Structure 1
Amino acid sequence: MAETFHLVEYLTVQRTKGVIIWLLNIGAEKYWNRLQAGIVDRNEDRIVNRVEEMNLLLCREQDILILREQPDPAYLEQLRQWGFSIPRLVVPEHSDALTPIAELVLRDEKLMQTLELAAAEQEDVYFVPYGVTYLEEQIAERCGLCLMGAPSELQAKVNDKVFNREIAETLGLATCLGFVCSDIEEIREAYHQLTGSTHNFKKVIIKEPHGASGKGLYIIDNTDKLSSLLTRLSRSARQNSNARWLVEGWYEKKADLNYQIYISPHGSVEMFSLKQQVLRDTVYIGSKIPVDLSPEIIEKYRGYAEQIGSYLYQMGYTGVAGIDSIITMDDTLIPIIEINGRFTLSTYISFLEPMLREVKLFSRYLKWISDKPCDFTEVCSLLRQEGLLYDPATGEGILVYTSGTLPLQQDEGGSAYTGRLFTLLASKGWANIEALNSRLEHFIDRLSNRITV
């Protein structure tokens, strides 16, 4: 049964075929690798867990989406009006804001029975999580579900930044100038080599093998910062004799790019998305769609997607992978900065064309701190008052595509309401996108500045 499944086709040309059970289990990385938690920000974790709602941008009507909370009905109605399909929504009976969603599912016998029944009622039911860990494997085994994606151990391996570099070297692809280091002194030596007269980098980036959303990445531009970081890293080195780090020169870039590939169960590889990413330092804040690149460059990316995807398939990897890439100021194309062997947030905004046709899009999210709660209806009303809300008739404006991440709940400190505003800025031209983005930033600044300390 799994051999006939093709995710991209199911989301485009075969939208009535089969049933997909979706789970956006963000934070899968902590199960793949024994990462130290560090400082825990419960407010931030609560918000991040609610990005699960963006899975609605992919769902078909016959699908099942597992969420930790039922979304705001006004948000669901707005998605319907924009042309998105609302699937069957199922929620654990005893949920909370911080427990990983897969753990909540496994604790809920009634929900597990619902999934088991769905699998028994028809043959073509597929379980498609954001990433596969041993928890999703347990859900699939207990419920009789066909789990799509590589085994958890393989996904963990593919999400190793040092291994990603080794893939690029094996395939003979261009890489950033850098070194794989096994101890603190090797990191120090690599820094001095890269910033010395031979290579003359003004900055280096030091990468831990695992981590997401900018965590475990350190941009170093002076020896004081290096010494401070090495003091911290030496602690983890003492605890893990097999620790490795990647130290690379920091390149000025013409473009940060992400391309999404799908490797089917029978080995076909398809690049289904190419986006220009907007980063603040090392943290992703949004994507521009479509990319402003020549057909020749786009064709090169298709070739890299096929080459990398075929290599991953030979390892046994199937499913979605998101690959970060750069084009340097001297037009060097570096195809692999890192591979995310799972869905990424970019995956969920890769199939918008049927609903939002012939427009340019900028996906943008902003942190929002408010002195009072603001739900989906209110934020849309405020955007409408500013003349910013998306108008389907013109194809212009700002769409808000999650509701649970908004500043709805007071922080643990009790001083503010913190949230994230996930938006799509739509227009016929990039100049207007830039204007919308500027107005959106000022809009959030004004609302945030209402707080008095």
Structure 2
Amino acid sequence: MTASGYLGRLKGALVGDPEAEFVLLCNFEAERAWGAGVAGLPAPPSMTTAPPAPAMEELGVCLAARGDRLLLGRPLDTSFRAYLRSAGISAPAGITVEGPGTVEITDRVLSDARALARLRAAAGRGAYLLPMGSTERTRQIAELTGLRYAAADPAVAARVNSKIYARRLVAELGLRAVPGTCCESVGELATALAAEPFEPLIVKDAYGVSGRGLMRLDTPARARRLLEMVRRRAHRTGDDRLQVVVERFLLKTCDLFYQFTVARDGTVVLDTVLETLLDNGVPQGNTARSPWADKHRAEIEDCAVRIGRGLHRDGYHGVVGVDALCGTDGVLYPVLEINARLNLPTYQLPVMQARHASGLPYSLSRQYTVRLSGALSFERLHTVLRPALAKDPDGAHAVISCFTPLNARAGEAKDGRTFPGRLYTGLFAPDPDSLDRLELRMRHCLDALTHGRDPKKPGAIHA
């Protein structure tokens, strides 16, 4: 097995062996596990129990090496696998999980005797389990199968992923913080919301993710309504405990993301700095070679090392992604939250870094939501996207990161209704103008999948 570049460095940091065999478990439900039983903002059940997007585990195909294993909800499409090989991506062998029950892949693994047997065979070869996020269920899988565990202790992972932990670590390290406070009771929330003079605020669940568990308070009246809802819940349950942070709403120029890896010996290495693309607060992708990322890179690298050392002191090792904000005054606020787990850019880094090294330093990782009227074959998708996938004379081209999420909700296409399919892509180019032309071409290609609807209109293409 050969694991070069980013994956080899990651394996070396986590287990001391760049050639180790890894079993990747892309458990996007980890945040739900960490936040279970934690009282946050009152929200409809549909928001507090929203399941992870279906088939997301296939994103691991771009991270794992050929000799690794990837747990999948369904077998990798053979045409997609052939495409990956043609794109220079060594797709791993898949272990299909057929266990019944929830959409959560950890539960399905634990109820699938055949998958557990294959994991025991990998354990016999000395393989390691690397989950996206370390939880009690992922550790249980390792214990049941004998796989060595490449991740941090689940209790440590849960603690350091809290936004309350992040704020306190920022204060301890003397880093620039968004003005705000941590609230662990209804009384503390009341105090935070009563500050005079009133300024617009953001209230966040300690374990909120991807735009969920977040509320903007623009007026004192909205603050009073939130406090009343929280008080009613506390009265009903007899428990006034709470885990939220209250922060001043800051006008911003952009959102930044940086990832670093904390090795078992405490060494901290900055992996990447990207500008995040948001839609209504929900991440839709990221771009490299951002002028704001370049401007603040030195400060970010210093922050990453200091944060990483703090995490290691508190028992954590592994991948860490941090969300940051650049204010309209150009000032960097280096920590909005700490995600001590694998992140979407983690899965894209091997392809991104290989393209950058080949002379395509400008990149855009983008999630597109496409309204479809029926399931789409990979052959059809490849044909439609060929103008974007084929290399331009200057080398610019797009790469499909995973395929199954595009059709994961095809069962909803009944009686003329469409369904939202998710397509994850990477776009690579030698300069900004070339990248802009490539994305425009990608959007025109995707428009063909929506039967000619304007990609800028709702119901067609959303990115």
TM-score bracket for the superposition, by shorter chain length: 0.7 to 0.9
In structure 1, distance between residues paired with 2:407 and 2:429: 27
Question: Aligned-pair distance for 1:91?
Answer: 0.8
Question: Aligned-pair distance for 1:405?
Answer: 0.8
Q: What is the DSSP-based 3-state SS (H/G/I as helix, E as strand, rest coil) of the residue aligned with 2:298?
A: helix
Q: What is the DSSP-based 3-state SS (H/G/I as helix, E as strand, rest coil) of the residue aligned with 1:176?
A: coil
Question: Aligned-pair distance for 1:237?
Answer: 4.2
Aligned residues: 436
In structure 1, distance between residues paired with 2:124 and 2:205: 43
CA pair 10-206 structure 1, distance change in 2 beyond 3 A = closer
In structure 2, distance between residues paired with 1:396 and 1:267: 38
CA pair 194-28 structure 1, distance change in 2 beyond 3 A = farther
Cα deviations by residue, 1:171-220 (Å, 9 ceiling, x for unpaired): 11110011223455754664564763xxxx5x421101112111101223
Aligned residue in 2 for 1:420:
422
1:268 aligns with 2:267: yes
Aligned residue in 2 for 1:305:
304
Aligned residue in 1 for 2:208:
211
For 2:76, which of 48, 71, 74 is the aligned residue?
Answer: 71
For 1:377, which of 366, 379, 396 is the aligned residue?
Answer: 379
Preserved contact between residue 66 and residue 91 of structure 2 (Cα < 8 Å): yes
RMSD between superposed Cα atoms in Å = 3.1
Identity of aligned residues (%): 26
CA pair 159-237 structure 1, distance change in 2 beyond 3 A = farther
Aligned residue in 2 for 1:430:
432
Q: Name the aligned partner's letter for residue 274 of structure 2.
A: K
Preserved contact between residue 204 and residue 219 of structure 1 (Cα < 8 Å): yes
Preserved contact between residue 21 and residue 64 of structure 1 (Cα < 8 Å): yes
Cα deviations by residue, 1:84-127 (Å, 9 ceiling, x for unpaired): 1122211124457x431111111122221221222223x4x221
Aligned residue in 1 for 2:133:
131
1:14-413 to 2 correspondences below 5 Å? 17-34=19-36, 38-40=44-46, 45=51, 48-94=53-99, 98-121=102-125, 123=126, 125-182=127-184, 187=189, 190-191=192-193, 193=195, 196=198, 201=199, 203-223=200-220, 225-227=222-224, 229-230=226-227, 232-234=229-231, 236-238=233-235, 239=237, 240-293=239-292, 297-352=296-351, 353-355=353-355, 357-359=358-360, 360-384=362-386, 387-391=387-391, 394-407=394-407, 409-412=409-412
Q: What is the DSSP-based 3-state SS (H/G/I as helix, E as strand, rest coil) of the residue aligned with 1:254?
A: strand
Preserved contact between residue 388 and residue 436 of structure 1 (Cα < 8 Å): yes
CA pair 265-182 structure 1, distance change in 2 beyond 3 A = closer
CA pair 392-313 structure 1, distance change in 2 beyond 3 A = farther
Q: Name the aligned partner's letter for residue 389 of structure 1.
A: L
In structure 2, distance between residues paired with 1:16 and 1:154: 25
In structure 1, distance between residues paired with 2:444 and 2:186: 44
TM-score normalised to structure 1 length? 0.86
Aligned residue in 2 for 1:3:
none
Preserved contact between residue 367 and residue 419 of structure 1 (Cα < 8 Å): yes
Question: Aligned-pair distance for 1:297?
Answer: 2.8
Question: Aligned-pair distance for 1:355?
Answer: 4.8
Unaligned runs of 5+ in 2: 1-5, 454-458
Q: Name the aligned partner's letter for residue 359 of structure 2.
A: E
Unaligned runs of 5+ in 1: 1-5
CA pair 417-396 structure 1, distance change in 2 beyond 3 A = same
Q: Name the aligned partner's letter for residue 84 of structure 2.
A: L
Question: Aligned-pair distance for 1:337?
Answer: 0.6
Preserved contact between residue 59 and residue 86 of structure 1 (Cα < 8 Å): yes
Q: Name the aligned partner's letter for residue 266 of structure 1.
A: D
Preserved contact between residue 82 and residue 392 of structure 1 (Cα < 8 Å): no
Q: What is the DSSP-based 3-state SS (H/G/I as helix, E as strand, rest coil) of the residue aligned with 2:350?
A: coil
CA pair 195-218 structure 1, distance change in 2 beyond 3 A = farther
Preserved contact between residue 99 and residue 110 of structure 2 (Cα < 8 Å): no
CA pair 7-427 structure 1, distance change in 2 beyond 3 A = closer
TM-score normalised to structure 2 length? 0.84
